[in-house]
Structure 1
């Protein structure tokens, strides 16, 4: 008999419990057949709260008690924070989990909210991706204060949380602490998703690559609730075991867990999923996810690309976010001309509305307008970075309505001038302009003096920008 098989057949005399191999070998995993505990609020057990170890998913009983079958690969146990309760956090970093280490019992204490959370807001940060102290300085002095000011404008009673969808840092793990400072400065609790630059390299396979992240931020897949919205965070970055080699993939373990998790969620609730690599074109087994979600109303929040894009596939609306760092902290815009910034979302029941918030600009800053005279004729170029097919983009010349502008995929003039070529930008020359579909363009008659462009989003909000032709 192999040593592992022998150990797995050793029984404890006092009760006949099977001893885990890892426990016998001296690791801090309990020699038990289950993990159990209670979920309480104000000293009383809370019924029907979902608790998971990333493999099994269970609900608490009427006294708030739960029990999960022991799984030798489980390292964390976490609660899916129920609606009507505050998000537990430590200086803004969500803390909804316990590390499984040397004991069987893990209890959770929740705090009831004093208001209905059916209406609330959340923000999405994509790719803070700080590499050095200069990047950190910009994050702390520009990005964090911008969010703080926005949150204060919502009023003291507003319920707001944040989700960072990966690439918190740029391989420099000591800078996670600087990100934590930025989160604390915003004044709202943040949940985190794992990005490819947040992983541990060359320590083993995909499972080992999550070690540092899990020590700092907990599980890489989990869920929580606010009002009638069920939030899910997934890990779609699969480390391939060497240097920075990875691909977009959702493990079978996660997909199996997600099915169990969603079984406890009413079909009429909105599902919001946060992850790093865009699902629509970056995740090889995306159809498996779409199949699980086919009878749900779903919004996916992703990043990774350093450009802004909205993709609608049936019942799934994916928001690919422009980044907090823009083009790696080198200029004011991403490669597609989207300003540095983040997504802002408002929930009313199961309805979701949103806009893109440019760092350092008011909400109304939703498009850029340029007059291009680099060729034989002058051309109007408008970049409406959060455009989707429900938007309408119109223009006026010298105060006279000129019609609807059509999509003309191309480059943003500012991004083109800042980033084109190996020598630009000087700080990080690999940043390049990115052709995008949210460009609108048309020829402009030479006698025209001024132009106004008005973009109307899918919610009826109108945003405008003007340019002088002369």
Structure 2
């Protein structure tokens, strides 16, 4: 009893949700059984707040009350945090839900929210993809490089800045005892984090897709849900479908999730921005991606994914998918991912329904957005620029010995640094399976004999210019 009171007091003081439940006796399957509760803020009843059990999606009435039909498959009752309210969290881990005891048909779940002291129309968020820690050395890297980098970034935004985080899966690398180490890293950043399920976060060989989520759900709650900040509706989905044995899985969105999402979006104004976080890239890794695209309609949507250990941006009509380079790079073996993008994470700045972004390389300043290398592996020297967060709206130009050489077009290829670090038997020494990855965010040009100095300027879609120069070694 003392521990329960302590947790409730902690959440209240940390701007979180105070959760309480009152369970009456009942029997599963009784016709008309309901789940009931209220949503309040400092005792004030909150109307029009969305509450769900993952099947039904309802809105509180003018007295802050809601009712959900009893569903024996439901595992949680969760609130879609409305704009203008703090993100409930416990040491940085979002707690916007309560476990649902499906053995009783009559239950009451009450949510107490905390109003923000400022307008949240403008805010920021960061996206971690694939921390994927497997041992104590990986954990040390995460806790001493990545987490402090985020903390410094958040502090640079100034006191009171509204920032939250999303980790889009593969929090650990099958070692579930290391979830607590991730939690400590999150706590040290000073911002609340939401989590999506990755293939390495699942329970193997314990049943089908639903059974594989058990450990994750015990630590982080539902695998799909939504929340709001300003004029942005955030959705987290589970697109990893476990196939029941060993590490076999594929990318798919269950009909249950899609049905829930359709109901959830019905309460979201069409003009609001929608941001979706999940693990496997939708554009090429989810077999029923067209169902998701059709459900989203013509809304303005950004999808945040990971899984691939490379950075890539894919624009499909009204949907912009950000496939993030990983927090761990190439599995904590070197400074870059397989495509040459540095270890790092996405940073997003929201103003109303407009959003800007950049890729933050761990240990570097914001302006570190490209690398320039000289490759002479083919008997001819080439300038190779890697602009890792490039999309078709970027412009890239180069100079040789002070003379403008014009614009460059993107090309597919392998980053020279990634090749030197990861290609070949026994490389990298720590995890030899890591290999360089072909990417489309490279820019190449043949160099004239005797060229001494190169400069590349990349201009992103928002007009920000980034410059990198390099000296050419001539024998």
Q: Partner of 2:193 in structure 1?
A: 190
TM-score in terms of structure 2 length: 0.92
What are the within-5 Å matches in structure 2 for residues 316-465 of structure 1? Answer: 316-465=319-468
Q: Partner of 2:68 in structure 1?
A: 68
Report the CA distance between 1:32 and its aligned residue. 7.8
1:126 aligns with 2:134: no
- Tell me how far apart the structure 2 counterparts of residues 374 and 333 of structure 1 sit (CA, whole Å): 20
Which 5+ residue runs of structure 2 have no aligned equivalent? 1-24
| 291, 305, 308: which one aligns with 1:302 | 305
CA contact (8 A) 2:32 2:69 kept: no
- Tell me how far apart the structure 2 counterparts of residues 151 and 391 of structure 1 sit (CA, whole Å): 26
- Tell me how far apart the structure 2 counterparts of residues 202 and 436 of structure 1 sit (CA, whole Å): 35
| 8, 20, 26: which one aligns with 2:28 | 20
Q: Partner of 1:14 in structure 2?
A: none
Provide the secondary structure at the position in 2 that maps to 1:339.
Answer: coil
CA contact (8 A) 1:130 1:136 kept: yes
Instruction: Return structure 1 stretches of 4+ with deviation > 6 angstroms.
Output: none
What are the within-5 Å matches in structure 2 for residues 94-133 of structure 1? Answer: 94-101=94-101, 104-133=107-136
Q: Partner of 1:86 in structure 2?
A: 86
- Tell me how far apart the structure 1 counterparts of residues 124 and 32 of structure 2 sit (CA, whole Å): 41
CA contact (8 A) 1:19 1:32 kept: no
Q: Partner of 2:232 in structure 1?
A: 229
CA contact (8 A) 2:85 2:116 kept: yes
Q: Partner of 1:41 in structure 2?
A: 41
1:142 aligns with 2:145: yes
1:312 aligns with 2:315: yes
Residue deviations 1:311-336, cap 9 Å, x none?
Answer: 00100000000000000000000000
| 251, 255, 265: which one aligns with 2:254 | 251
Provide the secondary structure at the position in 1 that maps to 2:71.
Answer: coil
Residue deviations 1:147-176, cap 9 Å, x none?
Answer: 000000000121000000000000000000
1:210 aligns with 2:213: yes
Q: Partner of 1:156 in structure 2?
A: 159
TM-score in terms of structure 1 length: 0.93
- Tell me how far apart the structure 2 counterparts of residues 60 and 402 of structure 1 sit (CA, whole Å): 62
CA contact (8 A) 2:325 2:342 kept: yes
CA contact (8 A) 1:235 1:250 kept: yes
